[in-house]
Structure 1
Amino acid sequence: MKRLLSLLALAVGLAGTAAVAQPSIYYLWKNKTSGAKMCEPQAPGPGWEKVGGPFSDENCSIPHPE
């Protein structure tokens, strides 16, 4: 019975967080050394600079509405 209540509480908690979650905003990043480009919500690490965005999709093809 405790396990059932725990699972029910977990399901309710997860459903609540899913309802308020915001979609990610993506940016186009360029590696300063290699010139490689990557579409990510946050900087991939040191040596990357933001060159475009914000975008609504993970391919950096749909501009995010202002």
Structure 2
Amino acid sequence: MEKKERRKSIYSTCKENYKKRKKVFAIYGKILYSIYLSAVRQTPHDDAGHRKASQCFMDFKKEIQKSY
């Protein structure tokens, strides 16, 4: 019985952490997408603009992953 309860508590803790992270990532995602769109809009029909935006996106993503 104890084992089962412990497993349940571990699971619920993981679930809570996941929910918190999901919220944070959703916020970051919206920010990143807006950055990406603005960078693409500034340089229409330009591969360099897309590359720059995606590089910025990747750097930002790495920073987020480091923080977790």
TM value normalised by structure 2: 0.36
Higher RCO (C-alpha under 8 Å, 6+ residues apart): 1
Greater helix fraction, Structure 1 or Structure 2: 2
TM value normalised by structure 1: 0.37
Greater strand fraction, Structure 1 or Structure 2: 1
